[in-house]
Chain A
Amino acid sequence: MGPLTEAARGALAARMADVVGRAHVVSEPSELLVYECDGLTHGRTRPALVVLPGSTAEVAEVVKAARAAGAPIVPRGAGTGLSGGARPVPGCVVVSLARMTRILGVDLENGTVRVEPGVINLDVTRAVAGAGWYYAPDPSSQGVCTIGGNVAENSGGAHCLKYGFTTNHVLAARLVLDDGLVLDVGGTAADAPGYDLLAPLVGSEGMLGIVTEVTLRLLRKPETTRTFLAIFPSSDEAGDAVSQIIAAGILPAAIEMMDSLAIQAAKAATGLDWPEDCALLLMDADGPAPEVEHVHRRASEIARACGARAVQVPRDEAERQLMWKGRKSAFAAVGRISPNYLVEDGVIPRSEIASVLREIGRLAAEAGLRVANVFHAGDGNLHPLVLYDARNPGEEERAAHLGGDILRLCIRVGGSITGEHGVGAEKAAYMAEQFTPEDLDTMMKVRCAFDGGALFNPGKVFPTPRLCGEKPGPYEPHPVERAGLAERW
């Protein structure tokens, strides 16, 4: 599929306007600007059109029209993704789900909620909080990111270690396929016979179809949450404390770590009175009160035994919220101590935290750059923030190079190039370092089962995109083909 001619673009815009209404088609170059990238702002491509359907039926018609015109589709939620997963490709139609924001039904008897994909993550919890329920996955962007985007990226957050990711909380989805067919996948009754189609769908980064409705699992709010902030001389002791706490059989609701540079940034942004030149652990324990009190006490003792200089317990909910604000604002806060920065997302085995942080420090020193570390320590999900100044010639390239070295380090110690931000456009090249060509070929086959024509979000995730049925290396007819039983398509 090549880029559309201007005339074809106009015709497609008119066709789309017939489907969704003129007001919901964006075609003016100036208005298309905001859709050129997602939360990863350094790669930009202008789409041919942006269409904002308001219903499943409209999405299905939009898909058919784009396909008929030979235009690829890039689905988009709130555009907060950090891997370029919603970055347009030349000549594409961006299908924004931003208008589909209805909460369709809450069923507390079964602990479920049915929502449209444009619903904001936090609004799900807001809708049921009064009754004492919540939606567990809580990416740091939960105040703005959408459920549709969360499903595409299999989003996580601070509470994954105990509560799992989006994939553990999606019970059903309504899916529009490449031919406009609408399918319901999964259900409120568990384990429906057949393949678990939700498994590849959640985390497929918009490459299998467009999700237009999602049924989510809700959880009853825990009776109690206790929080502490432990201050360690360095990341070594803090990393050790994380391992010891978990080895003691404790499953924290969240256990977050910040190094000295990240603390400096968070302080600058929030005015929190945190010490510097140290490493912080922020831990939540939640559940029934007697269990939580016990866990909270044990974990504080372990933190002290591992060398914590102090263990602070918030006096009230407001102070607790402030501590969490310091953590959750850390990404943005880094802007206060550096003109530019890259947000990385990698995973390592939890027991390697201290050694990996030392190695990141060494790599940073070699590159002549600073790296702030803020991460979900319980599951080894690092977010190294590589600080640089784009005004200095060559520094941006050095930062990108350092980011790549950190990802390779994650792979080398047995981890992953992404724990929650997704592969998107940004990390596709690294997939070939984490997976074999055969692994990638197998994933591609799954893609081909859903979307044989590579209509949805082409060019993402896979390092070397191929057409369905195309084999890597020299062409070799399959025995079935030779026997005349099938042909490639």
Chain B
Amino acid sequence: MSAPRPGSGADGILGVEPRLVFEPAGEAEAREAMQACARDRLRVAFVGGGTDLGLGNPPSGLDAVIRTGRMARVLEHAPHDQIVRVEAGITLSALQAALLPHRQRLALDPPFPARATAGGLLCANGFGPLRTARGSARDLVIGATFIRADGVLAHGGGKVVKNVAGFDLPRLLFGSLGTLGLVTSVNFRLHPLPEEEATLAFPGLSPAAVRGLVGDMRQAQLEPAAVAAIWAGGSLDLLVRFEGFGPGVSGQVERLLAVAGKARASGGRLAPPQAAAAWARQQTAREVGPFRARLAIPPASLEVGTRALGTLLAALPGGAAVWYPTLGLGFAGGAPSGAEAVATAAGDARGALATSGGWLAVNDAPPEVRARLDAWGPAPATLALQRRLKAQLDPEGRLAPGRFVGGI
């Protein structure tokens, strides 16, 4: 195993700097690193592309960091079976580039694709508007290998898309932020690249109009691949993309225009360069900082969600936001007008969302905001069970301690 190097400020997670940094070049080295951490009882966190290091609370302490950047190989791609097995540190862009010659893709479109890694997509729930048709990493993961806190290597799932043998460990890792183990490889189901796609834009809609149009689309049995509503100063610019074969895409475009016409929503199909720019705009809205939050609500309560975006943006002058109406999820980000103001706004938004069964989590925030705002909000009723799960897999509480919900 290559010896760990001393940590520096750049290796820190939310300002908590590790003493040691391991950069294993594969599963065997990763295991040695985890065993070294177990032997010396080191508190350790895992870093892939670092796109979601701001998610959650700062670790309560950190002795070591394991970076997965040198574990970036495609281990197996079976184009006929439409599955891929990759090391955890491969970036989404690198993976898509490897799949492109086979006209396949991993159907995830999160922000920062050049940095986001396979392990991070699973453990930090990286997704974008394509989730409408294809689901999240939870729906696309079919297997995973990870190393437990005690240095033991474990697998769950497998290489086939249908498999119910044993408890579903890969999905348990979904969104677990490296608190249950170090993911070393992930198996994903793939999809063919669509033959054709078309984007329609309906600018300047009210939240109610967005909810109405999305409902009409569903009523008309249209099946969009991606839907996003970009915040445009109180109103929303709605983007809808269809994917599939030529006749299906053009047929759905015509039908949506008819449906929108009836609802008096004006808009139309964008030429490819404008479409690319429009989708890039929704992605950028999720990349602005230094404050970023994610919000959720049952999809039909869309206006509660977009009002919460407005509440946040009032404290983030010049900020940006996007709402995914089919998913009931949204993101807002920007530079706070003041720490107190944004913490209060986030608290208000969180309260409003909670009354409709929703929640708000902090994706990133400057330290002075964190001092005033819990990253996760009130502890869930299942916290005791979650703690027992953590205690089973990491009894000494050494993996990313304190970063997760309820201080886990």
Which A positions have Cβ atoms within 8 angstroms of B?
107, 109-112, 132, 153-154, 156, 160-161, 164-165, 167-168, 177, 183-185, 187-197, 199-200, 202-204, 220-223, 243, 246-247, 249, 251, 287-295, 298, 347-351, 376, 379-381, 414-423, 427, 431, 434-436, 438-443, 445-450, 461, 478-480, 486
Q: Which of B80, B161, B219, B391 contacts A351 (CB 8 A)?
A: B80
Taking the nearest CB of chain A, how far is it from the CB of B81, in angstroms?
4
- Is the CB–CB distance between A289 and B153 below 8 Å? no
Q: Report the stretch among B21-29, B60-68, B108-116, B380-388 that lies at the interface.
A: B380-388
Taking the nearest CB of chain B, how far is it from the CB of A351, in angstroms?
4
- Closest residue of chain B to A221 (Cβ to Cβ) is B221
- Closest residue of chain A to B145 (Cβ to Cβ) is A439
- Is the CB–CB distance between A194 and B158 below 8 Å? no
- Most chain B Cβ neighbours within 10 Å, of A110, A291, A293, A347: A291
- Is the CB–CB distance between B218 and A183 below 8 Å? no
Q: Which of B160, B386, B389 contacts A414 (CB 8 A)?
A: B160
Q: Which residues of B contact A381 (CB under 8 A)?
A: 162
- Is the CB–CB distance between A349 and B167 below 8 Å? no
B6 within 8 A of A: no
- Most chain A Cβ neighbours within 10 Å, of B163, B246, B377: B163
Q: In the complex, how many residues of chain B place their beta carbon closer than 8 angstroms to a beta carbon of chain A?
A: 90
- Is the CB–CB distance between B163 and A294 below 8 Å? no
Q: Which residues of B contact A439 (CB under 8 A)?
A: 154-156, 166, 169
If A200-B172, A288-B223, A442-B156 touch, whether A418 touches B163 (CB-CB below 8 Å) is: yes
Report the separation of the CA atoms of residues A251 and B189 in the bound assembly, to the nearest whole angstrom.
13
- Closest residue of chain B to A107 (Cβ to Cβ) is B300
Which B positions have Cβ atoms within 8 angstroms of A?
41, 78-83, 103, 125, 135-136, 138-139, 148, 152-156, 158-169, 171-172, 174-176, 180, 191-195, 215, 218-219, 221-223, 244-252, 255, 296-300, 327-329, 353, 357-359, 361, 376-377, 380-383, 385-386, 388-393, 395-396, 404-406
Report the separation of the CA atoms of residues A292 and B221 in the bound assembly, to the nearest whole angstrom.
13
If A189-B298, A291-B244, A486-B395 touch, whether A431 touches B166 (CB-CB below 8 Å) is: yes
Q: Which of B138, B194, B221 contacts A220 (CB 8 A)?
A: B221
Q: Which residues of A contact B194 (CB under 8 A)?
A: 249
- Is the CB–CB distance between B158 and A416 below 8 Å? yes
Q: Which of A203, A351, A449 contacts B164 (CB 8 A)?
A: A203
Taking the nearest CB of chain B, how far is it from the CB of A128, in angstroms?
13
If A249-B192, A381-B162 touch, whether A350 touches B81 (CB-CB below 8 Å) is: yes
Q: What are 13 inter-chain pairs, A to B, with CB distance below 8 A?
A: A183-B385, A187-B357, A188-B328, A194-B380, A247-B80, A288-B252, A294-B248, A351-B80, A415-B163, A419-B160, A422-B164, A434-B166, A461-B167
- Is the CB–CB distance between A110 and B299 below 8 Å? yes
- Further contacts, 14 of them, CB under 8 A, given A192-B380, A351-B78: A195-B405, A196-B138, A203-B168, A251-B192, A291-B245, A294-B248, A414-B158, A415-B159, A419-B164, A435-B155, A441-B152, A442-B152, A445-B393, A461-B167
- Is the CB–CB distance between B393 and A167 below 8 Å? no
Report the separation of the CA atoms of residues A307 and B229 in the bound assembly, to the nearest whole angstrom.
48
Taking the nearest CB of chain B, how far is it from the CB of A1, in angstroms?
21
- Is the CB–CB distance between A195 and B154 below 8 Å? no
Report the separation of the CA atoms of residues A438 and B155 in the bound assembly, to the nearest whole angstrom.
8
Taking the nearest CB of chain A, how far is it from the CB of B25, in angstroms?
22
- Is the CB–CB distance between A349 and B78 below 8 Å? yes
- Is the CB–CB distance between A350 and B80 below 8 Å? yes
Q: Which residues of B contact A416 (CB under 8 A)?
A: 158, 160, 162-165
- Most chain A Cβ neighbours within 10 Å, of B219, B396, B406: B396
- Closest residue of chain A to B211 (Cβ to Cβ) is A109
- Is the CB–CB distance between A415 and B158 below 8 Å? yes
Q: Which residues of B contact A480 (CB under 8 A)?
A: 395-396
Q: Which of B167, B251, B377, B388 contacts A289 (CB 8 A)?
A: B251
- Is the CB–CB distance between B163 and A195 below 8 Å? no
Report the separation of the CA atoms of residues A481 and B248 in the bound assembly, to the nearest whole angstrom.
63
If A183-B381, A191-B329, A291-B248 touch, whether A434 touches B165 (CB-CB below 8 Å) is: yes
- Is the CB–CB distance between B174 and A194 below 8 Å? no
Taking the nearest CB of chain A, how far is it from the CB of B78, in angstroms?
6
Q: Which residues of A contact B152 (CB under 8 A)?
A: 438, 441-442
Q: Which residues of B contact A192 (CB under 8 A)?
A: 296, 359, 380
Q: Which residues of B contact A109 (CB under 8 A)?
A: 215, 299-300
Q: Which residues of A contact B218 (CB under 8 A)?
A: 220
- Is the CB–CB distance between B165 and A417 below 8 Å? yes
Q: Which residues of A contact B169 (CB under 8 A)?
A: 200, 439, 442-443, 446
- Is the CB–CB distance between B385 and A450 below 8 Å? yes
- Most chain A Cβ neighbours within 10 Å, of B161, B164, B192: B164
- Is the CB–CB distance between A418 and B165 below 8 Å? yes
- Is the CB–CB distance between B162 and A287 below 8 Å? no
Taking the nearest CB of chain A, how far is it from the CB of B246, in angstroms?
8
Q: Which 3 A-B pairs have the closest CB atoms?
A: A291-B248, A290-B251, A199-B171
Q: Which residues of B contact A165 (CB under 8 A)?
A: 162, 164
- Is the CB–CB distance between B160 and A347 below 8 Å? yes
- Closest residue of chain A to B179 (Cβ to Cβ) is A195
Q: Which residues of B contact A421 (CB under 8 A)?
A: 164
- Is the CB–CB distance between A443 and B82 below 8 Å? no
Q: Which of B79, B155, B222 contacts A288 (CB 8 A)?
A: B222
- Is the CB–CB distance between A380 and B221 below 8 Å? no
- Closest residue of chain A to B375 (Cβ to Cβ) is A193
- Closest residue of chain A to B167 (Cβ to Cβ) is A443
